[in-house]
Amino acid sequence: MTRKDLLDIESLTREEIEHLLDQAAPFKELFTRSVKKVPALKGKSVLTLFYEPSTRTLSSFEVAAKRLSADVTTFDVPHSSVVKGETVHDTIATLQAMRTDYIIVRNRMPGLPKVIAQATRASVINAGDGAHAHPTQALLDGFTFREVFPETEGKKILIVGDILHSRVARSTSNLMRKLGVEVAWLGPGSLVPKHGPRDIKRFTDYDEAMAWAPDTIYLLRVQMERQDTQYFPSLREYTKLYGVTQERFKRIADQGAYIMHPGPVNRGVELCDDVMEYDRALIDQQVENGIAARMAVLYWLKPGDVLGD
């Protein structure tokens, strides 16, 4: 059971997801040892190609690849010939000629990782393509969720915020549903799509959503950079209606719900500072688990022998 590329969560089976999450556990154990490295990808080359900013995903992939003993090259997009007008296709042809084994790509264009995957023998991993997909974020979220709830069937997750523009919401919702978790979305009516899976509950009112008794509340970042129109009156208004304010935080803590966030966090918008100190906030755990989940993905994928494999 293996694949060449990881482009989205939709195309993975529940068995494949569970295999990846199972595989991430021994990689995480490695982090407690003095030598955190295994030779699994010795002699293999990994290239990161990020056309959009990233803190967590980029560094997490680099650490993951190095812990598997791969050689890692960070393609420096702002200082590459991309700024001189080189097309993505020509960049890929150049990288193909270098016989890279794994390409990890982030780009604002939905579907670009698939185009690259079809044009190269390298294994391509989608590290975020516009509002479409962010599969490794979903895997690390699933891994973190399973650490808290080893039996995922019937658990409830409430995803809050800008669902419409969020690749994280799409991928994490899909993965959770595949694990048997009940998913609900909460946000302004303009940012909670009415189309899409019918089994996902939609809320626009915070109190109604909390009455649904979620086990975990997953806060999304408000993505001002992806909004071409005004979807809510102001950030202040958003925080008033959907942010975890002190008052809401107290209710969440009373209900014993966990809090997750993919980062980067807008403090004072999605959540108040105290949430970061909450003993059921899993935000740092998500970052740590990101390395283990990405090691599992790199270890699992198998580059093709020839173009188009």
| Interacting residues toward ligand CP by CB under 6 A | 54-57, 128, 137, 262-264
Q: Which is nearer to ligand CP, 132 or 206 (by Cβ)? A: 132
Q: Which is nearer to ligand CP, 210 or 269 (by Cβ)? A: 269
Closest distance to ligand CP from the beta carbon of 58 (Å) = 6
Closest distance to ligand CP from the beta carbon of 122 (Å) = 21
Q: Which is nearer to ligand CP, 210 or 283 (by Cβ)? A: 283
Q: Which is nearer to ligand CP, 110 or 263 (by Cβ)? A: 263
Nearest one of 60, 72, 199 to 139, comparing CA atoms? 60
Q: Which is nearer to ligand CP, 203 or 258 (by Cβ)? A: 258
Between CA 44 and CA 300 the distance in angstroms is 13
Between CA 259 and CA 265 the distance in angstroms is 12
Closest distance to ligand CP from the beta carbon of 128 (Å) = 6
Token pair of 268, please? Answer: 């004072």
Closest distance to ligand CP from the beta carbon of 139 (Å) = 12
Closest distance to ligand CP from the beta carbon of 106 (Å) = 8
Closest distance to ligand CP from the beta carbon of 49 (Å) = 14
Dihedral sign from CA coordinates of 41, 45, 50, 53: positive
Identify how many contiguous H helices and E strands the chain contains and give both numbers: 10, 9
**DSSP-based three-state secondary structure for 192:** coil
Q: Which is nearer to ligand CP, 162 or 182 (by Cβ)? A: 162
Q: What are phi and psi of 84, to 5 degrees?
A: -90, 5
Q: Which is nearer to ligand CP, 262 or 303 (by Cβ)? A: 262
Closest distance to ligand CP from the beta carbon of 288 (Å) = 13
Q: Strands, E, within the chain: which ranges?
A: 45-50, 71-75, 102-107, 123-129, 156-160, 182-186, 201-203, 216-219, 258-260
Beta bridge mates, 218: 159, 260
Closest distance to ligand CP from the beta carbon of 140 (Å) = 9
Whole-angstrom CA distances from 144 to 70, 113, 132 are: 25, 26, 22
CA 62 and chain centroid, separation? 15
Q: Which is nearer to ligand CP, 130 or 263 (by Cβ)? A: 263
**DSSP-based three-state secondary structure for 271:** strand
**DSSP-based three-state secondary structure for 32:** coil
DSSP 128: E
